[in-house]
Each structure stands twice: as C-alpha cells, then as structure tokens.
A and B are shown apart, each in its own frame.
Chain A
C-alpha cells in the first residue's frame, strides 16, 4: 500500500509546530499551570491533553451534552465552548478537584449512594453542574434540580437517581457545611 509518509517529529499533543502559540497561565484545581497553546485550543482539550486531566469528557460537538462541564472562576461552563486562552489568569476546577485531602465531596458521595451513575461518562460534568447548583441553592426541589441539569445529557440513568443524588448531596452539605465540595 502506498501511504505517503514523512519523518515523524516528536508528537506535540495538540498544536502543530509552525502554528502561532500563546503562553497562558491557568490555575487548575489550585495548581498554577503555564503552557503554550494555539489560540484556537479549546479549554477541554487543554485540560485533557496538556494538563493531563482526563476526567472532563467530550460527548458532542454542538455544546449540548455537558460532559465537559468545569468551573471557571466558580461558574459552571462547557469547556468545549471556551478557548483555553479565555481561561488565562483564571481559576478552573475540574472533577479531579472535587475530592479534597482524600475526602470525597458531598456530591461525589451522594452520586454513589443514590446510584446516580452507570457508565460514568456524563458523571463528571453532571457533578460539576450539581456542585454549582448546590452552592447557590442547597435545598433544591425536584423541578429545580431537573432545570439545573438540563444542559447535561445522560443516556444511562434516566435522571431519576441523579436528581435523588443531588438532593441527597444538598442534605449532606447542610449537615456538614465545612466539608469538601461545599463551596465552588
């Protein structure tokens, strides 16, 4: 088979060597990360491939699924719809930042206890949205929870147990307001 091949340069994970790059500094889960990226680099690719945090997932190409949800300065954003350069100088929190000092956040605990996940693919984004919801409304009703997660698709669970998990997490956070995951 005649495949045209050229010598292979050391693999750059994202940017092509000759493209212009920008240096950015982003604080990810409390640690400052400095890197050069192409201006077009999506935040989700920066997190997954440059920082190496693969808990943030990609489930679509139209900003619908929410699998990529992270917190940017405390607010949930779809990291597939944010450029890495837009995160320059800002704080990003990912699913890997929910557990603090080996202690799971209330949302993480509740997702396990209420069986709020099956394949686990939507789970990181879902938990980030849930964490942001509970930070502003610790005691949401079922319709409030459903409305808050409308930008996060789950194909496995049918949402019933996700709703339960989020309400359970709210209760846990109220019982222990200083626990991890309590604040964004």
Chain B
C-alpha cells in the first residue's frame, strides 16, 4: 500500500466530526451521577445558615431516626481521625467539617449517610445545630481595618491579611510616572462569579475493605494530582488508589479543587465499607464551591502626549473568602496576573496584590481562564480605552500605535514573561475590516446627533497559557508537565492515553488528529482515553488551556519517538539502511525513490511479526512533555452595542472575534470553543455576579438570581482567525479554550462606556446591568463634546 495522498484522513486542520458525540446524543454518556454500584449509599450535607457563628451543639438523634439513615458524621468525628481540616493548594487549610466555628453561609456542618437519596436529604434536614452568631466581615477593605473581627483565629498572625505579593521594577516605575506627560488611573472591581458548569460536582467513593483498594469516581479535571494528594493526606498506598474521572459535564476550573463533599464520601465509604455517592445540588454548587475573580483593582497608566504608553502600576486587593484555596501554580499566589502589560511594550511596570480573608466561601479558581489572566486583560484593555478617551484619540488607533510589533518576538515583557509569537496589528486590522469599523464610527456619529446611544468596544488581548515549564510551574510540588502514551497494534490501529481530562473540549477527536498527522494513520483508527489513573500516564490535568500545549505536544513527541523506531523496521522491510529512509507524505520512503515506501501500518504489522533482529518487538512510546515556554494566544474583538434609553438595556448588536491560537487542529472545534468562551465572557460583563449582604447572606446562590445567559440574551457570535504558530510547540498550537472568556468582557464594557460618552462616563464596573445604565442616563442631561 502506498500513501501518495498529501493528506491523512482526520489529520491537522480538518473539521472532522467528534468521536465523543456518539454516546452523548444517545443519552449514553457516563457522568458521575449515572454510575450506580451494588450496595451504594448516598451522602447529603447539612449546611450553615450563618456566615460566621460558633457551633454550640450538634444533635444527630432525630437524623438517625429517619428511616434509611445509617450514619451522621460531624467535625468532632473527623477531628478524632485528624481529618477535620485539609490542606489547600496554596499552603492554607480548609475545613472538611467545622469542630467549633462556621465561617461562611452554606458551609458544610454535618454529613448524613443513608441508603437512598431521599433518606439522606431527610436526614440532613433533621440534623439539629445550635449556633451563636459572630460578627461578620464581607468587605475585604473592612477586613483589613484595625479592630476588624479576626476570622481565622487558628492562625498565629491573628489578622485577616493573608499575603502580599509584588513583582516588577518599583523604583523605575515610580520614576516613569514622575516624568510622565499623561497619567490615567481607575478603580475597577471584578466581582465574584461562578463557573456553573451544567453538571455540578460529585463522586462515588468506594473502599474495598478486603483488598484495601480505594476507588473514587469523581468530577475532577486533574485525576492524577488528586490520587497523589489523597495518598499524601490519608496515608493510603498510592498503588491502591484509583481515581476515575468519567464524562465530565463542563469544568471551567470549578472541578480542580478538592471539596469537603469528596472527602466526606471517602470517609463514609471507609467507615461503612460500601460505595458512597455524593452529588451536590445546583444551589450548593453556587453557594459553597470555589468562586472566581473578586479582585479590587487600582490601575494607573503613564503615557506620552502622543499616546505612547510608558509605564503601568497596579495595586489590587484580593478577596479570598475564609481560606486561600485558590487553584494557582505554587509560586504565583495571584496567578499569572502579571501578564497585565498585555499587548503593549510598557518599559516599566509594577504590580502588587494583597489578599484578605472574609466570611465567604473560598475559591480563586479560574472561570475558564489561565490563573487570573481575565483580571489582567480586563484591566489593561479598560485602561487603554480610558487613556484613549483622555487623549481624545480613537481606541483602535491608540492600540495600533502601541502594539508590540511582529518582529519583536520573542518579546520579553516588563514583568518577565517571554511572549512566543504574535501579530497583534494583524488581528485588529482584520476585525476592523470584517466589522467595517470606519463605517460604524460614521453611523455612531450620526446616531449621536439624533441622541441615540450606540457604542463600539475593542479588546486586543494577549493570553498566557499552557502551564508550564517545570522550572517555574508546579502545583503542590508536582511539576506541570503532561503526558501521552501511544501504542500501535499489529493491524495498524492505535490506542493513546493522556494525563489530561476533557470536560467537553473534544480531546478524543483532537488528540487523534495530532496523532493521525504524525503517524499517517487515519483518526478513525485512533482511540483516545483519559481520566483513569490506573491506565493513563501521569499528568496534571486539563485547565488553564494547557491540554494542547502540553499533552498535545506529548502526543507529537511520542509519535515521533515511534517514528524513530519504525524507521528502522521500514528500512529492514525495504532492505536499505535506515539512513536511506525518510518520513515524507505520511510514509517511510527510500530517499530519491519515493515510490519505494512502507506505511506505518506496514511497519506496525512487522513490529509484531517480522521485526529486525536486535530491535525490541512492539511499537509504542510514552512522552512526558515539559514545555520550554508558555504559549501566548491573542486576538482582537470588536463589539457593537445599542442601548435603550428608556430601560437601560444593553443589546450586543454585533460581535466579531478574531482569534490567533497558532496552528489549528480542528477548525470546527476551535470555533465551538470560541463561541462558548465568548458567552462566558458576555455573562460576567452584563449578567453574572455573586454578592453578599453585610450579614454574609449570599445573593446569587441559585439560578433564580445567578443569571447564566440563555440563548435569548446571547449574541450571535462572528468568528475569524489569523494563524501565527508557536515557535516552540511541536505543531505550533497554542491552546484556545479560554481566549474568548478572557478577551470578551473588556470589549463589551468598552462598548457600553463608549455608548455612554455623551454622559461623560469613563468607567462602569461589570456586570453592567440595566439599572446601572439607567441611573447614568437619568442622572442628568448628556454632556456635549
């Protein structure tokens, strides 16, 4: 069989349909709550109505009388086993169950185990708890004031201040500000939001008391890391722990942390010897699982009169809730917030972040972005518009004037990141052309004369994803490499396993495409598996757009290792020296005689039936890929809004997204990722927010109040691409899952602020809901000029 065709079926750049869909469209997905084990019990949780209170008594008698209830677990029970607290990812600690004090509303207080779901719920409702309310702090600024009630009295610091972190050239930045021709400054608050994946979190824990085998089916984005953490925390031998992450109904960062419910189900199984299922309700998910954002930012930009930016200064207060349970690489307590210089060549920059405890649930997870990159991009893209407004120049013009030019890459930013590749002006110009920017500005001028409110907003973002090089990136000491193990069977079919875990991104399809391209084997013949720590090679999981940059790269590297060996077998079959063989057009060919060739399938059969003496039989390889650098996807988005003056309602009329994620593996899937990301950028810009009143009562704790966008509000997204490959990734890909979540909010906010320019507005905090807009419109007559 010769392979003359220049393409392999299902290779790179083809919009092949997804392999995983076959089960999902038939209702045959296998999510955690779909799994039912023999003898399985159910766990439900009693939660605190108070945000801060002493627990004076817990009475379990009534709960234990509920038919079907088998056990009640309290903090005292856990403390006896030294399990009342567990470590967080950021060297803090978190309660599994409290022994004496609750620190946020909806905190877990007791767990009830029963033989049915309904009995467990009845039991949880029947647990009686006496509380003595304590003073509540929900505002992080107030939490840091002298005399504020200390939330974490267990810490020797006896203060609500957690840490201070800073980076950059402080003195140089101050100097640049002193000599600046123009300085603009702004306070920006990015509120608490919640990922709200459509599947909530849950698990089935099963300790087999005879074999000592502990299996947990779990909604986790990082099964291997969980296995190791379980081994370290519980002392169970790691070979006896199996973590299975089955089909996951969306993750977006919310399924990275270990929640108390997982631990409680594990404890319950160890104690009862039965499998124990815990699946949270949506309201529990919104009220108690990790939040995202909650950054109070003050930013200042220094510039020359001609608009050239020179320096950036940012001071931030981060509200972490009652514990620092953020999911960040260990060295970066504020994540990668220092990507905040964005797409612009600031000569000097200085960033500082302080973190505070409040009586709120813990978090600081991503909401579909790479470790606080959204906060950074929102800040710099809002600031660029504020600068443009102050200098009375067009925001597109200001960006084009300042962009890091394409020939400056690799580019080292003032805060120390080395951007791999980019063509920022290329993306913005393309977006301007698609949307007819000049035409829109003319239309806007016309509408302003008629008193109508129309706005145009731009965001030209640079992301940092693909964590990460092991010298800089680890989680609890585990280096952030990722892995692929590839086996070619005698008939030329492939099974490949990965250390990552798809939650809807389509890895079963896209990894197969990478391998198809590298091996010359059709994607249909390649089976991809993830999520079972017994079979998959070790990896750190899927979040922060790291799967393609790390495990995707590992797929290429493993395939190339296989090609090295396969070449020798091909040479043996073709009776030439390996030096005379080249891999070209998806086959091994004799140099200069391209028709004399062997396909990978020919070689695979020979690897098991006719391998040359002196080589090992079989055809497989594993690769643990440690990326040399992060990848830096970028893009430019333009948003057009119309505002109804009577209601304050903002309507996104058009939204054009030009993305550059480097080499594209599957254009259909990339567009799908962008559509979803844009919607998760639109949501916090206009709708979503979790607030607390001064007593710590949550507002936004169910879908009644937490406004996940429906199809009706969501705009019709328009997408386009430029392609600037990453120079250091084996196939040039950069990762795409989160770009749009990161890039969209400032484009929308900028458009709304632009629309409201007649009212002299320079900034509105997100979410920009109609009430905020209406107040601005009705506060006074439009200012002219």
Binding site for B on A (CB under 8 A): 1-6, 8-9, 11-19, 38, 40-41, 45, 48-49, 53-62, 64-65, 67, 94-96, 98-99, 104, 108, 111-113, 115, 117-124, 127, 142, 145-147, 149-163
**Do residues A1 and B267 form an inter-chain contact, with CB atoms below 8 A?**
yes
| Cα–Cα, bound, A117→B671 (Å) | 12
Chain B neighbourhood of A112, CB < 8 A: 17-18, 21-22, 25
**Do residues A120 and B676 form an inter-chain contact, with CB atoms below 8 A?**
no
Q: Which of A3, A120, A150 contacts B504 (CB 8 A)?
A: A120
Q: List 27 A-B contacts (CB under 8 A).
A: A4-B60, A5-B70, A6-B64, A6-B71, A14-B118, A16-B116, A57-B199, A60-B281, A60-B702, A65-B198, A98-B26, A104-B25, A112-B18, A112-B22, A112-B25, A115-B668, A119-B199, A121-B197, A123-B25, A142-B716, A149-B711, A154-B711, A155-B195, A155-B252, A156-B504, A156-B672, A161-B675
- Chain B 30-54 interface 0/1 with A at a Cβ cutoff of 8 Å (1 = within): 0101101001110000000000000
B428-457 residues with Cβ-Cβ distance < 8 A to A are none
Q: Which of B39, B78, B708 contacts A1 (CB 8 A)?
A: B78
Contacts A5-B70, A61-B281; A117 near B272 (Cβ below 8 A): no
**Do residues A16 and B119 form an inter-chain contact, with CB atoms below 8 A?**
yes
| Cα–Cα, bound, A5→B73 (Å) | 10
Chain B neighbourhood of A11, CB < 8 A: 39-41, 115-116
Chain A neighbourhood of B267, CB < 8 A: 1
**Do residues A38 and B274 form an inter-chain contact, with CB atoms below 8 A?**
no
**Do residues A120 and B717 form an inter-chain contact, with CB atoms below 8 A?**
no
Closest residue on chain B to residue A19 by CB atoms: B67
Q: Which of A104, A151, A156 has the most CB of B within 10 A?
A: A156
4 closest residue pairs by CB, A with B? A55-B27, A119-B504, A120-B24, A121-B249
Closest residue on chain B to residue A127 by CB atoms: B25
Chain B neighbourhood of A62, CB < 8 A: 282-283, 702-704
Closest residue on chain B to residue A161 by CB atoms: B672
| Cα–Cα, bound, A19→B250 (Å) | 36
Q: Which of B22, B117, B198 contacts A45 (CB 8 A)?
A: B117
Interface residues on B, range: 35 or more
Contacts A4-B71, A119-B197, A120-B21; A157 near B249 (Cβ below 8 A): no
Closest residue on chain B to residue A38 by CB atoms: B118
Closest residue on chain A to residue B26 by CB atoms: A99
| Cα–Cα, bound, A13→B114 (Å) | 10
Q: Which of A53, A59, A127, A151 contacts B198 (CB 8 A)?
A: A59
**Do residues B717 and A158 form an inter-chain contact, with CB atoms below 8 A?**
yes
| Cα–Cα, bound, A162→B714 (Å) | 12
Q: Which of A61, A127, A142 contacts B283 (CB 8 A)?
A: A61
Chain B neighbourhood of A9, CB < 8 A: 68, 115
Give B670 Cβ to nearest chain A Cβ, in Å. 10
**Do residues B703 and A60 form an inter-chain contact, with CB atoms below 8 A?**
yes
**Do residues B680 and A155 form an inter-chain contact, with CB atoms below 8 A?**
yes
| Cα–Cα, bound, A55→B27 (Å) | 4
Contacts A59-B282, A149-B711; A8 near B27 (Cβ below 8 A): no
**Do residues B711 and A146 form an inter-chain contact, with CB atoms below 8 A?**
yes
Give A146 Cβ to nearest chain B Cβ, in Å. 4
| Cα–Cα, bound, A154→B672 (Å) | 12
| Cα–Cα, bound, A160→B682 (Å) | 14
Q: Which of B198, B199, B282, B675 has the most CB of A within 10 A?
A: B198
**Do residues B675 and A160 form an inter-chain contact, with CB atoms below 8 A?**
yes
Give B291 Cβ to nearest chain A Cβ, in Å. 16
**Do residues B77 and A59 form an inter-chain contact, with CB atoms below 8 A?**
no
**Do residues A115 and B712 form an inter-chain contact, with CB atoms below 8 A?**
no
**Do residues A95 and B18 form an inter-chain contact, with CB atoms below 8 A?**
no
Chain B neighbourhood of A17, CB < 8 A: 67-68
Give B764 Cβ to nearest chain A Cβ, in Å. 24
Contacts A53-B27, A147-B712; A3 near B71 (Cβ below 8 A): yes
Contacts A19-B67, A157-B676, A158-B675; A55 near B28 (Cβ below 8 A): yes
B122 at the interface (CB under 8 A from A): yes
**Do residues A2 and B80 form an inter-chain contact, with CB atoms below 8 A?**
yes
**Do residues B198 and A121 form an inter-chain contact, with CB atoms below 8 A?**
yes
| Cα–Cα, bound, A75→B717 (Å) | 31
Contacts A6-B70, A54-B34, A159-B714; A1 near B25 (Cβ below 8 A): no
**Do residues A120 and B29 form an inter-chain contact, with CB atoms below 8 A?**
yes
**Do residues B708 and A16 form an inter-chain contact, with CB atoms below 8 A?**
no
Chain A neighbourhood of B702, CB < 8 A: 60-62
B503 at the interface (CB under 8 A from A): yes
Give B393 Cβ to nearest chain A Cβ, in Å. 33
Give B42 Cβ to nearest chain A Cβ, in Å. 9
Tell me the number of A-to-B contacts counted with CB atoms below 8 Å: 239
Chain B neighbourhood of A67, CB < 8 A: 198
B505 at the interface (CB under 8 A from A): yes
Chain A neighbourhood of B115, CB < 8 A: 8-9, 11-12, 16
Q: Which of B21, B117, B268, B703 contacts A14 (CB 8 A)?
A: B117
| Cα–Cα, bound, A15→B72 (Å) | 19
Chain B neighbourhood of A156, CB < 8 A: 198, 250, 504, 672, 676
B248 at the interface (CB under 8 A from A): yes
Give A176 Cβ to nearest chain B Cβ, in Å. 18
Contacts A11-B39, A38-B118, A149-B711; A119 near B198 (Cβ below 8 A): yes
**Do residues B116 and A12 form an inter-chain contact, with CB atoms below 8 A?**
yes
Chain B neighbourhood of A60, CB < 8 A: 281-282, 702-703
**Do residues A153 and B198 form an inter-chain contact, with CB atoms below 8 A?**
yes
Chain A neighbourhood of B506, CB < 8 A: 118
**Do residues B122 and A16 form an inter-chain contact, with CB atoms below 8 A?**
yes
Contacts A19-B67, A59-B282, A62-B703; A160 near B717 (Cβ below 8 A): yes
- Chain B 97-127 interface 0/1 with A at a Cβ cutoff of 8 Å (1 = within): 0000000000000000011111100100000
B698-737 residues with Cβ-Cβ distance < 8 A to A are 702-704, 708, 710-712, 714, 716-717
**Do residues B271 and A150 form an inter-chain contact, with CB atoms below 8 A?**
no
Q: Which of B27, B71, B119 contacts A56 (CB 8 A)?
A: B27
B474 at the interface (CB under 8 A from A): no
**Do residues B116 and A65 form an inter-chain contact, with CB atoms below 8 A?**
no
Q: Which of B23, B29, B122, B678 has the most CB of A within 10 A?
A: B29
**Do residues A155 and B118 form an inter-chain contact, with CB atoms below 8 A?**
no
**Do residues B198 and A64 form an inter-chain contact, with CB atoms below 8 A?**
no
Closest residue on chain A to residue B123 by CB atoms: A16
Give A118 Cβ to nearest chain B Cβ, in Å. 4
Closest residue on chain B to residue A54 by CB atoms: B34
Closest residue on chain A to residue B197 by CB atoms: A155
Chain B neighbourhood of A161, CB < 8 A: 671-672, 675
Closest residue on chain A to residue B117 by CB atoms: A14
Chain B neighbourhood of A49, CB < 8 A: 36, 117
**Do residues B710 and A153 form an inter-chain contact, with CB atoms below 8 A?**
yes
Chain B neighbourhood of A146, CB < 8 A: 711-712, 714
| Cα–Cα, bound, A40→B199 (Å) | 23
Chain A neighbourhood of B677, CB < 8 A: 158
B310 at the interface (CB under 8 A from A): no
| Cα–Cα, bound, A14→B118 (Å) | 6
Q: Which of A1, A6, A9, A94 has the most CB of B within 10 A?
A: A1
Q: Which of A18, A157, A158 contacts B67 (CB 8 A)?
A: A18
**Do residues A16 and B672 form an inter-chain contact, with CB atoms below 8 A?**
no
Chain A neighbourhood of B272, CB < 8 A: 3, 5, 8
| Cα–Cα, bound, A162→B122 (Å) | 38
B669 at the interface (CB under 8 A from A): yes
Contacts A3-B271, A61-B702; A122 near B198 (Cβ below 8 A): yes
Give A124 Cβ to nearest chain B Cβ, in Å. 5
**Do residues A58 and B77 form an inter-chain contact, with CB atoms below 8 A?**
no
- Chain B 59-97 interface 0/1 with A at a Cβ cutoff of 8 Å (1 = within): 010001011101111000110110000000000000000
| Cα–Cα, bound, A123→B33 (Å) | 16
**Do residues A158 and B679 form an inter-chain contact, with CB atoms below 8 A?**
yes
Give A96 Cβ to nearest chain B Cβ, in Å. 5
Chain A neighbourhood of B689, CB < 8 A: none
B128 at the interface (CB under 8 A from A): no
**Do residues B40 and A155 form an inter-chain contact, with CB atoms below 8 A?**
no
Give B425 Cβ to nearest chain A Cβ, in Å. 27
**Do residues A1 and B77 form an inter-chain contact, with CB atoms below 8 A?**
yes
